[in-house]
C-alpha cells in the first residue's frame, strides 16, 4: 500500500526555479502548446504574484501562480514536475489550494492540452465557455471553473 504523500506549500523564490526546475523546463518533452509561457515569464510571475510551490520534503514537485479577484481566484499557471506526474499530486495540490482559499477557482486551458483538461475535469472543474482561436497557434481556450464561479 502506498504511504500518504505529504505536500507542503510555500512562497517560491526565483532561486527555487533556477535550482529545481530550469533544466527540466528546457528539456520538457510535452507538446509545445503546454509551454506557452517561457521560463523568464514564469520567474516574473513568481515574484509578482507570490506564486507557491508544492514540495515533497525539500523537493519542489510543482507550482501554481494565482491571481486573486474579489469573488474568485484565477489560476494563471499550474505545473507538476514530469517525474512526479501520475501520482495524484496534482489533485492533492488542487484540493489543498481550494481548501486554503475557500473561494471559487477559474482558469483557461489550451484545448489540445488533454492531460490538463482530464485533470481539471477529474477534480470537478466545468467548462463555462470557449474562447475561439485564443492562442497564437489558432487553438481555442477552455474557460473552466470550480466552486460556483459567477464570472
Q: What angle do CA 80, 27, 62 make, to 5 degrees?
A: 15
Residue 78 has pLDDT above 70, yes or no: yes
Q: Is residue 106 part of a domain?
A: yes
| Residue range 18-35: mean pLDDT, rounded | 49
Minimum mean pLDDT range among 34-43, 60-69, 130-139: 34-43
Residue 58 maps to which CATH number? 3.40.630.30
Q: Per the structure, how many domains does the chain have? A: 1
Q: What average pLDDT does this structure show over 16-28?
A: 57
The contacts of residue 16 (CB under 8 Å, 6+ apart) are 46, 53, 60
* 138 belongs to a structural domain: yes
Q: Residue 64 falls within a domain, yes or no?
A: yes
pLDDT at 124 over 50: yes
| Model pLDDT, residue 4 | 64
SS3 62: strand
* Pairing of the two strands 7-11 and 52-56: antiparallel
The range of the structural domain enclosing residue 89 comes to 7-146
This prediction's pTM: 0.82
The residue to which cell 486551458 is assigned: 109
Amino acid at each position: 500500500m502506498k504511504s500518504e504523500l505529504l505536500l507542503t506549500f510555500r512562497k517560491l523564490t526565483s532561486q527555487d526555479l533556477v535550482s529545481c526546475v530550469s533544466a527540466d523546463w528546457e528539456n520538457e518533452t510535452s507538446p509545445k502548446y503546454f509551454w506557452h509561457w517561457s521560463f523568464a515569464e514564469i520567474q516574473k510571475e513568481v515574484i509578482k504574484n507570490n506564486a507557491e510551490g508544492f514540495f515533497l520534503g525539500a523537493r519542489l514537485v510543482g507550482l501554481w501562480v494565482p491571481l486573486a479577484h474579489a469573488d474568485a481566484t484565477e489560476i494563471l499557471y499550474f505545473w507538476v514536475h514530469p517525474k512526479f506526474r501520475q501520482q495524484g499530486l496534482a489533485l492533492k495540490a488542487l484540493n489543498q489550494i481550494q481548501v486554503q482559499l475557500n473561494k471559487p477557482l477559474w482558469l483557461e486551458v489550451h484545448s489540445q492540452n488533454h492531460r490538463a483538461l482530464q485533470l481539471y475535469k477529474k477534480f470537478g472543474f466545468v467548462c463555462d465557455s470557449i474562447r475561439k482561436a485564443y492562442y497564437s497557434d489558432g487553438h481555442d481556450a477552455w474557460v473552466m471553473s470550480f466552486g460556483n464561479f459567477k464570472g
